Chains A and B, each alone.
Chain A
Amino acid sequence: MTPAVRFERVVRHFGQVRAVDGVDLAIEPGEFFSMLGPSGSGKTTCLRLIAGFDQPSGGHIEIFGERVEGVPPYRRAVNTVFQDYALFPHMDVLDNVAYGLMVKGVGKAERRAKADRALAMVQLATHGARRPSQLSGGQRQRVALARALVNEPRVLLLDEPLGALDLKLREEMQVELKALQRSLGLTFVFVTHDQGEALSMSDRVAVFNEGRIVQVGPPEEIYERPRSRFVADFVGGSNVVEAPLAAALGGPARLASLRPEAVTLLAEGTAAAGRMVRVRIVDSQYHGATRRCLVALEEGVVGARLAVAAPAARAGGFAVGETALVSVDPAALWPIEDAG
């Protein structure tokens, strides 16, 4: 099957800065594809290259099999939901949504009907006559979404669209976006620096660092089997365990990642199978269902720190400054590369 978007050794330089430094990727039609990375990692530049706001310095980009280098954004069948929404302040909501149709010369009655339907789809049917300045952040976000979707794009590009929303609204929009993508069967390319967002919504995630893709795969794979130190640290905040510590915890002596929830915290004097290491509790944070503790080893590699996530009911018994035991299943020590 022809990929919806294909990058072949794509490079984008800004002066001396290699914003995108040799990216290969293939996004399947109908896929919810996330580009995850810290700011400056090249993910937004990749999105802008697909939209056509930016042109590659080298390599090739194809959208549904057609080469798009040099094709301006207004001739590409892709639409973007901007980070700042970019709603036109001098038009009402309905005219904003109908803008793409108006530009393409769709008749007034038809574009109004289509824009009305698009607004209904994002639950803003009654807000057409308002100005963007009269809407809340969440409503503006929906208008931006309707304005892009009304054009029936082949690929929808979303540039950190939920970044400006508060937590509850963000979670609601995540569910809604995912439901919308599933029902429309549309290809979504979603840029975010929030690993939770990327993991919860995507079919596949590409992790960016310094202009390159360091790992691409389904969320479970990215989270459970990170390829490198960077991915382990950036996605899910896993412990990066140096070789001596890995050995001290009972695993092979090589660099590994260890998820906080794979570490079991036990009261001193507990008899259990497997290797136990004495630690001191350095910090303890309540997160509702879980409690996240930071512990420092008292033996083995003394002073080395580990993040531990345990059910709150069980870990609540440990106060900061007390000693405890940790046990680690050696199989949970996932070997990773140092670089990349």
Chain B
Amino acid sequence: MTAAVIAAPRPGALGRLSDALFRHPGLLLALLLAPPLLWLGVVYLGSLVALLAQSLFSIDEFTGQIDRTLTLSTYGELLRLANLDIIARTVLMAAAVTIADALIAFPIAYYAATYARGRTKALFYFLVMMPLWSAYLVKVYAWKLLLAKEGVVGWVFDALGIGVVLDAILAIPVIGGPSLSTSYLGTFLVFAYVWLPYMILPIQASLERVPKSLVEASADLGASPRVAFRTVILPLALPGVVAGSIFTFSLTLGDFIIPQIVGGSTLFIGQAVLIHQGTAGNIPLAAAFTVVPIVVMGLYLWGAKRLGAFDAL
């Protein structure tokens, strides 16, 4: 006896469903995507739109009541010197953290993508990811202890007999302060540490995709390692650097915990949002503040695209 050409359908509704989904791949896709899209649409985008709408309301200065007529006056309030100061401080910090992370991450990512194999590569992933597994608050408080006046960093400087160097650094106006844990320099160090994995991984992924033969080809055509880096490796890794910088930049722009625990008494955007929507009850101004990182990120991405950062994609 010869086998049947077409196997009989599996009995029951599930069997018919399998056949129907096979014939209509679009239906399968819709079924798979519906739950996450509903979640994104209602919970995430919905709350974001509600928040942004709040920024178009205003607050009555005398009664503290929210006036629900649409107005741009809250955005006008953002332009007050004290608020502009907060915005400038946050954007500068985010930029500094991003640049520092890119400079630290690139060699590590390059090593991992080009040289690390097998066990070394596994070790690399372990070391890069491990900080992400421990609680964020624990890491930040650990840094506060490290950077405190009597902390480990100060002790190491003293033990090496170069305590004066640390004092000199802390004496620098603006970024310095009474101790590392109460200065912008401390805030910067903790930000740079906490977000570093988010910069390393995208750069490593983009370098991983650069074929070794391209680097050899540039050397073959007469490019010294420095020229090969500038003309071949960096342009091809740039999308990864931009992806990483989106993380470090936006995470720094929105963070309100690190500057509160490590740093001076001045505010960053995240803290301003927290104070205005909590203690002060000025939800419209809090909402207007949250629009700032969104606009800054939009401008940043537009600029990166204009500069050709995504050409190699």
Instruction: Point out residues on A near B: beta carbons under 8 Å.
Output: 51-53, 72-74, 78-80, 82-84, 86-90, 99-100, 103-104, 147-148, 151
Which residues 19-77 in B have Cβ within 8 Å of A in the complex? none
Instruction: Point out residues on B near A: beta carbons under 8 Å.
Output: 211, 213-214, 216-224, 227, 231-232, 235-236, 311-312
Taking a contact as CB atoms closer than 8 A, the residue among B216, B227, B231 that contacts A86 in the complex is B216
Question: What separation, in Å, do the CA atoms of A43 and B232 have in the docked complex?
Answer: 28
| Chain B residue with Cβ nearest A76 | B220
| Chain B residue with Cβ nearest A159 | B213
Tell me, rounded to whole Å, the shortest Cβ–Cβ distance linking A97 to chain B: 10
B236 and A103 within 8 A (CB): no
Question: What separation, in Å, do the CA atoms of A26 and B311 have in the docked complex?
Answer: 45
Main secondary structure of the interface of B (DSSP, over half): helix
| Chain B residue with Cβ nearest A84 | B213
Question: With A73-B216, A89-B312, A90-B235 in contact, do A103 and B211 touch (Cβ < 8 Å)?
Answer: no
Tell me, rounded to whole Å, the shortest Cβ–Cβ distance linking A154 to chain B: 13
Question: What separation, in Å, do the CA atoms of A99 and B214 have in the docked complex?
Answer: 12
B216 and A82 within 8 A (CB): yes
Instruction: Collect the chain A residues with CB atoms within 8 Å of residue B219's CB.
Output: 52-53, 72-74
Q: How many A-B residue pairs have CB under 8 A?
A: 64
Instruction: Collect the chain B residues with CB atoms within 8 Å of residue A86's CB.
Output: 211, 213-214, 216-217
Question: What separation, in Å, do the CA atoms of A52 and B211 have in the docked complex?
Answer: 18
Instruction: Collect the chain A residues with CB atoms within 8 Å of residue B218's CB.
Output: 88, 99, 103
Question: What separation, in Å, do the CA atoms of A82 and B224 have in the docked complex?
Answer: 19
Question: What separation, in Å, do the CA atoms of A148 and B217 have in the docked complex?
Answer: 9
B211 and A84 within 8 A (CB): yes
| Chain A residue with Cβ nearest B213 | A86
16 contacts between A and B (CB under 8 A): A73-B216, A73-B219, A74-B219, A74-B220, A74-B221, A78-B220, A80-B216, A82-B213, A84-B213, A86-B214, A88-B214, A88-B217, A103-B218, A103-B231, A104-B222, A148-B221
Taking a contact as CB atoms closer than 8 A, the residue among B220, B227, B311 that contacts A51 in the complex is B220
Question: What separation, in Å, do the CA atoms of A103 and B226 have in the docked complex?
Answer: 11
Question: With A90-B236, A90-B311, A103-B227 in contact, do A79 and B213 touch (Cβ < 8 Å)?
Answer: no
Question: With A89-B236, A90-B312 in contact, do A74 and B213 touch (Cβ < 8 Å)?
Answer: no
| Chain A residue with Cβ nearest B312 | A90
| Chain A residue with Cβ nearest B219 | A73
Tell me, rounded to whole Å, the shortest Cβ–Cβ distance linking A103 to chain B: 5
Question: What separation, in Å, do the CA atoms of A169 and B311 have in the docked complex?
Answer: 31
Question: What separation, in Å, do the CA atoms of A86 and B224 have in the docked complex?
Answer: 17
